Amino acid sequence: MSAPQAAILPGRGGAAGTVADVFWRNPKVLLALLLIPPLLWLGIIYLGSLFALLAQSFFSIDEFSGMVKYELTLKTYGELLNPANLDIIARTVLMAAAVTVAAAVVAFPVAYYAARYARGRWKALFYLGIMLPLWSSYLVKVYAWKLILAKEGILNWIFEKLHLTWLLEAYLSAPLIGGNSLSVSYTGTFLVFLYVWLPFMILPVQAALERVPGNLVEASADLGATPAQTFRTVLLPLAMPGVVAGSIFTFSLTLGDYIIPQIVGSSRLFIGQAVYAHQGTAGNIPLAAAFTVVPVVIMGFYLWGAKRLGAFNAL
């Protein structure tokens, strides 16, 4: 047996020891050292760029030379109120709202089953089953839908095999939601948005439902409520913060996306595409910047409302 070691080691001394002592005596120095690198990074690179962008929305573009005029004006925001641009904004907001509602409807049963009935292995399976699609490549998911919605693709094939092609054609001839084919209709865009953002809705709804005690649901049934009544008066109000939290993601992500409507959809623009077009070929950075302010403002109001509904506790 070796000699018993001292339970308390002597201080190490040396430079490292001195520095450690300084940190121990002045925790604020350590705190500052910890915070400075991330704050510099986010503050300068990220916030700096954001404010530079915001500032540019107050400039305008000279109509003759196409150059940016560096004087403060609200002219660019005036342009935003053109009927064509208002159309783009309304279209995007409506799409975001539709996607959000549909995502809540599809997500609820999955989340509820995972929260209340799935146990053990099934629970893990459900969790991974939601996590893997959430994290798998965004572009691959969009690509998969391009395959599905193609004219020669699987969806048309299924309709044909079921002898329901007439139904699809009747649907496509409907105004607004229809189009030449699914891949160039709003319905196609909607489906892809719904697919890509669905996991973002399931997770917070599930988190909210996990916190609903099962005996509340049973008590409601014992007191004579039908399942529909229980759902409406017990489950839904308790799950609402989760739904609102999920809707923050689905709404915000739809507002800012420009790739999905470009690949699957009609040629009518969404906000993201307008931003992309104005900053790119048109070189109209001020208008592009003003356009980016729209989703920020909308999300600002949305978050403010969500906070009042207590959605942040469900995140």
Tell me which residues in 67-96 interact with other proteins (CB under 8 A): none
Query: According to the binding rule CB under 8 A, does residue 152 interact with other proteins?
Result: yes
Query: According to the binding rule CB under 8 A, does residue 37 interact with other proteins?
Result: yes
Query: According to the binding rule CB under 8 A, does residue 120 interact with other proteins?
Result: no
**Contact with other proteins (CB under 8 A) among 2, 3, 11, 224:** 11
CA distance 294 to 9: 61
Only one of the segments 14-22, 70-78, 172-180, 234-242 lies at the binding site for other proteins (rule: CB under 8 A); that segment is 14-22
Only one of the segments 15-23, 70-78, 82-90, 167-175 lies at the binding site for other proteins (rule: CB under 8 A); that segment is 15-23
Which residues ranging from 50 to 69 are in contact with other proteins (CB under 8 A)? 50, 52-53, 56
Query: According to the binding rule CB under 8 A, does residue 119 interact with other proteins?
Result: yes
**Contact with other proteins (CB under 8 A) among 42, 177, 236, 297:** 42
Instruction: Identify the residue whose tokens are 């308390």.
Output: 8
Nearer to other proteins, 176 or 228 (CB): 228
Q: Helix and strand tally (H, E) in the chain?
A: 16, 2
From residue 247 to residue 286, the character string flagging contacts with other proteins as x (rule: CB under 8 A) and all else as - is -----xx-xxxxx--xx--------x--xx--x-----x-
263, 141 Cβ separation under 8 angstroms = no
Orientation angle between helical segments 120-135 and 186-210, nearest 10 degrees: 140
Nearer to other proteins, 109 or 310 (CB): 109
**Contact with other proteins (CB under 8 A) among 145, 186, 190, 302:** 145
Structure token digits, residue 53: 């962008």
Q: How many residues bind other proteins (CB under 8 A)?
A: 105
Only one of the segments 58-66, 76-84, 127-135, 170-178 lies at the binding site for other proteins (rule: CB under 8 A); that segment is 127-135
Which residues ranging from 191 to 220 are in contact with other proteins (CB under 8 A)? 195, 198-200, 202-203, 213-215, 217-218
Query: According to the binding rule CB under 8 A, does residue 23 interact with other proteins?
Result: yes
List the one residue out of 156, 149, 168, 174 whose CA is nearest residue 263: 149
Query: According to the binding rule CB under 8 A, does residue 305 interact with other proteins?
Result: no
**Contact with other proteins (CB under 8 A) among 26, 29, 49, 305:** 49
Kindly list the distances between the CA atom of residue 3 and the CA atoms of 6, 11, 113, 185, in Å, as whole numbers in the listed order: 9, 20, 60, 81
SS3 content of the chain, % helix, strand, coil (to 5): 75, 0, 25
The residues that bridge with 69 in the sheet, in sequence order, are 60
Query: According to the binding rule CB under 8 A, does residue 295 interact with other proteins?
Result: yes
CA distance 276 to 92: 14
Nearer to other proteins, 27 or 83 (CB): 27
CA distance 196 to 113: 21
SS3 of 183-244: the string is HHCHHHHHHHHHHHHHHHHHHHHHHHHHCCCHHHHHHHHHCCCCHHHHHHHHHHHHHHHHHH
**Contact with other proteins (CB under 8 A) among 30, 101, 234, 282:** 30
- Give Cβ neighbours of residue 260 (< 8 Å, ≥ 6 apart): 142, 189, 192, 193, 196
